[in-house]
Amino acid sequence: MELNIVRYILIFPLLGFLVNGLVGKRLGNKAVGWIANSAVFISFALVVYIFIQLLSMAPGSRLITDTVYTWINSGSLTIDFKLMIDPLTIVMLLVVTGVGFLIHIYSIGYMHGDRSYSRFFAYLNLFMFSMLLLVLSSNIVLMFVGWEGVGLCSYLLIGFWYEKDSAANAGKKAFITNRVGDYGFLLGLFLLASAFASKGILTLDFTTMAAHISLISPQILTIVGILLFVGATGKSAQLPLYVWLPDAMEGPTPVSALIHAATMVTAGVYMIARMNFLYVLAPEALEVVAIVGGLTALYAATIGLVQNDIKRVLAYSTISQLGYMFVGVGVGAFSAGIFHLMTHAFFKALLFLGAGSVIHALSGEQDMRKMGGLKNKIPVTHAVFLAAALAISGIPGLSGFFSKDSILAAAYASGHTVIWLLGFITALLTAFYIFRLIYMTFYGESRLDKHAAEHVHESPKVMTVPLIILAVLSVIGGYIGVPQLLGNLVGWHNSDIFVNFLAPVFRTMPKHEMPVSTESWLMIGSIAMAILGVFFAWYVYIKSKMRPAEHAAESLPGVYRLLLNKYYVDEVYNAIIIKPLLWMSENFLWKIFDVRVVDGTVNGSAQVTQWASTKLRKIQTGDFQVYVMLFLIGVISVLAYFVLR
């Protein structure tokens, strides 16, 4: 169905960006906040309206399109500015505009008093526009516009406080690391386009590609799948390109919540789900996705165990949770991956905003070693934080439990036992590091600075209300995807609403059935891991009041330092790629090759010419007698030649 209001989902945030960006300074902060928030709210309302429309359509035919204009045309290549909404899109749209709107409201309070208030909201609206474009695109090139657009906003917002060198560096690092991934993405796109072109169908449109995907050989699809995934590892911070995300915490906290937790970083997962028609025919590529996802999940969780900066713990947690999502899509359980994307958006946005509320309360303190005992001083923040922590730990009944469990179950059922094990261990670590955070921040003795202690205060309503809404979502959000196993217990048929809703979008992999008993045991296992993790954290940080950091530093100094320094990956990249490249460019390519060799040759040949002409010039003495003599010598020589020949 063609519906021309879809484009307005994009137009309002774009207008918000333009107005606030161009004249925001003159409008005053109040107007800026209103404009930015209304723009996102209108988009959200439109999305809800379209969602209702979509629900009223028959499940198999839920597709709404909006062709705006032809963007690029060259030869037989036509790329339309065309938007598309199917069940997958609408889930993403609801998450992006819904969570996005809550974070916009929260930002009014959080950014209150910042010198660049209007610039902040302008960027935030531009981000919403780009993210919505990414999600709405009906072809992969337009998607790439949104893809790089969100990267730009991420860059601008990480470097928002650009006077801080660390923020400026982090912004640049994010953009460039993403460009490395995008390079892979583009190559994948080119290979896919040329593969289609060789079949006479030059198309980059999702629907058309899906219809003809079987024409392309599986080998090419595998390479395409892996190349596109390289792009995803950049955007969604997976091994080996995750390095930018921890540094991205330099940005204002609402940005960390919106961009670096709930929405942008999930773009890679969305992309793979969107390209599911390709990935199901490229099982090796999916295998790569699942393995990288599983390894990243565990890897980032181990780093998260020892970080002391509250936002850095959450950053590594995000990387780890994104790893779960990739495991989900990687084992072919696309809906499970998207389900976790959604629940994660709720609880991780909440964790970040909650952390923001803590930081706000402590006048900017981020080091958990200087927190503690905040439970009663900021009760609302504590309560919502606890809800989010329980959700991410996978405590039964909360949203994270359902989504994480469906990923792990799918991994096990499809025979990926090793990957399942990685996820299983990660579940333990997750519960541990998040409750370590909770205990260090909210419980135990206060270790606050004097200055901070005097000013501790709960955040204003404009910040706590969004927190409460997100907390409710984190708690109940999982009930739209209750595994049938549990549904059956209470006699609820088709309890997995989420999977059923998305089913028409996804091509299915060969089904793996699992005996009910196995599924039950897996579920009990994950629950045990979650509880165990919480218990360990409690035991270590509350019961025995251990100082595990010092403990570990003494007993396992090597491992501890390795983790604390994040496996030295930044240092390794710096030493083997960045430094040599810069050194070679400056000292060899420029100063020796370009200046001495290339330009030296040019100037050298000029000098030779000059030298030769100064020598030759000596012949032209201007002396008539010499000329006559030379002339005579010439004549005689010629004559002699002819005579003596």
Under rule CB under 8 A, residue 186 binds another protein: yes
Half-sphere exposure of 432 (CA within 13 A, CB side): 21
Q: Give the residue with the Cβ less far from another protein, 155 or 433.
A: 155
Please, what is the minimum distance in Å from the beta carbon of residue 48 to another protein?
27
Window 123-142: contact mask with another protein (x via CB under 8 A): ------------------x-
d(CA 51, CA 62) in angstroms, rounded, equals 10
Closest CA to 259 of 236, 279, 277: 236
d(CA 288, CA 294) in angstroms, rounded, equals 10
Please, what is the minimum distance in Å from the beta carbon of residue 140 to another protein?
12
Count of residues that interact with another protein, criterion CB under 8 A: 56
d(CA 506, CA 88) in angstroms, rounded, equals 9
d(CA 599, CA 593) in angstroms, rounded, equals 8
Tokens of 231: 């792009």
Under rule CB under 8 A, residue 8 binds another protein: no
Please, what is the minimum distance in Å from the beta carbon of residue 472 to another protein?
37
Q: Give the residue with the Cβ less far from another protein, 61 or 219.
A: 219
Residues numbered 595-614 forming contacts with another protein, rule: CB under 8 A = 598-599, 602-603, 606
Q: Give the residue with the Cβ less far from another protein, 19 or 380.
A: 19
d(CA 205, CA 201) in angstroms, rounded, equals 11
Q: Give the residue with the Cβ less far from another protein, 69 or 642.
A: 69
Q: Give the residue with the Cβ less far from another protein, 193 or 355.
A: 193
Dihedrals phi, psi of 79, to nearest 5 degrees: -120, 115
Please, what is the minimum distance in Å from the beta carbon of residue 612 to another protein?
15
Q: Give the residue with the Cβ less far from another protein, 120 or 147.
A: 147
Q: Give the residue with the Cβ less far from another protein, 183 or 573.
A: 183
Choose which of 191, 486, 509, 569 interacts with another protein (CB under 8 A): 191
Closest CA to 263 of 153, 166, 345: 345
Choose which of 8, 49, 162, 567 interacts with another protein (CB under 8 A): 162
The residues with which 74 forms a beta bridge, in sequence order, are 77
- The H or E element spanning position 289 is helix 283-304
Q: Give the residue with the Cβ less far from another protein, 42 or 167.
A: 167
Under rule CB under 8 A, residue 175 binds another protein: yes
Asked whether the CA dihedral 17, 21, 22, 27 is positive or negative, the reply is: positive
* Binding window for another protein (CB under 8 A); candidates: 32-40, 63-71, 347-355, 504-512: 63-71
Tokens of 376: 């009663």
Under rule CB under 8 A, residue 165 binds another protein: yes
Tokens of 247: 């540094």
Choose which of 2, 163, 454, 513 interacts with another protein (CB under 8 A): 163
Please, what is the minimum distance in Å from the beta carbon of residue 342 to another protein?
27
**How many H helices and E strands in the chain?**
29, 2
Tokens of 120: 């902040």
* Binding window for another protein (CB under 8 A); candidates: 167-175, 239-247, 299-307, 449-457: 167-175
Please, what is the minimum distance in Å from the beta carbon of residue 281 to another protein?
18
Please, what is the minimum distance in Å from the beta carbon of residue 314 to another protein?
25
Under rule CB under 8 A, residue 168 binds another protein: yes
Dihedrals phi, psi of 619, to nearest 5 degrees: -65, -35
Q: Are 236 and 265 in contact (CB under 8 A)?
A: yes
What amino acid is encoded at 187 in this protein? L
d(CA 438, CA 460) in angstroms, rounded, equals 21
Half-sphere exposure of 98 (CA within 13 A, CB side): 17
Please, what is the minimum distance in Å from the beta carbon of residue 303 to another protein?
26
Q: Give the residue with the Cβ less far from another protein, 148 or 405.
A: 148
Choose which of 199, 455, 543, 547 interacts with another protein (CB under 8 A): 199
Please, what is the minimum distance in Å from the beta carbon of residue 72 to another protein?
6
- The H or E element spanning position 532 is helix 516-538
* Binding window for another protein (CB under 8 A); candidates: 177-185, 413-421, 435-443, 493-501: 177-185
* Residue 546 backbone class (left: φ over 0; alpha: ψ -120 to 50; beta: rest): beta
Under rule CB under 8 A, residue 58 binds another protein: no
Residues numbered 481-510 forming contacts with another protein, rule: CB under 8 A = none
| Cβ neighbours of 15 (radius 10 Å) | 17
Please, what is the minimum distance in Å from the beta carbon of residue 189 to another protein?
8
Residues numbered 290-309 forming contacts with another protein, rule: CB under 8 A = none
* Binding window for another protein (CB under 8 A); candidates: 180-188, 249-257, 459-467, 516-524: 180-188
Under rule CB under 8 A, residue 41 binds another protein: no
Choose which of 13, 87, 98, 149 interacts with another protein (CB under 8 A): 149
Residues numbered 552-591 forming contacts with another protein, rule: CB under 8 A = 581-582, 584-586, 589-590
Asked whether the CA dihedral 37, 247, 301, 226 is positive or negative, the reply is: positive
Under rule CB under 8 A, residue 144 binds another protein: yes
Residues numbered 200-229 forming contacts with another protein, rule: CB under 8 A = 200, 202
Strands 64-74 and 77-85: antiparallel
Choose which of 66, 86, 182, 205 interacts with another protein (CB under 8 A): 182
d(CA 87, CA 135) in angstroms, rounded, equals 12
Which residues does 309 contact at the CB level (< 8 Å), separation at least 6?
A: 249, 366, 367, 368
d(CA 212, CA 630) in angstroms, rounded, equals 84
- Distance, first Cα to last Cα, the chain: 98
Choose which of 18, 34, 94, 172 interacts with another protein (CB under 8 A): 172
Burial of residue 61 (CB within 10 Å: 0-12, 13-18, 19+) is exposed
Q: Give the residue with the Cβ less far from another protein, 202 or 527.
A: 202
C-alpha angle with apex 193: 188 to 197, nearest 5 degrees?
A: 150
Under rule CB under 8 A, residue 75 binds another protein: yes
Under rule CB under 8 A, residue 622 binds another protein: no
Q: Are 350 and 388 in contact (CB under 8 A)?
A: yes
Chain positions contacting another protein, by CB under 8 A: 69-77, 141, 144-145, 147-149, 152, 155, 159, 162-163, 165, 168-169, 171-172, 175-176, 179-180, 182-183, 186-187, 190-191, 193-195, 197-200, 202, 581-582, 584-586, 589-590, 594, 598-599, 602-603, 606
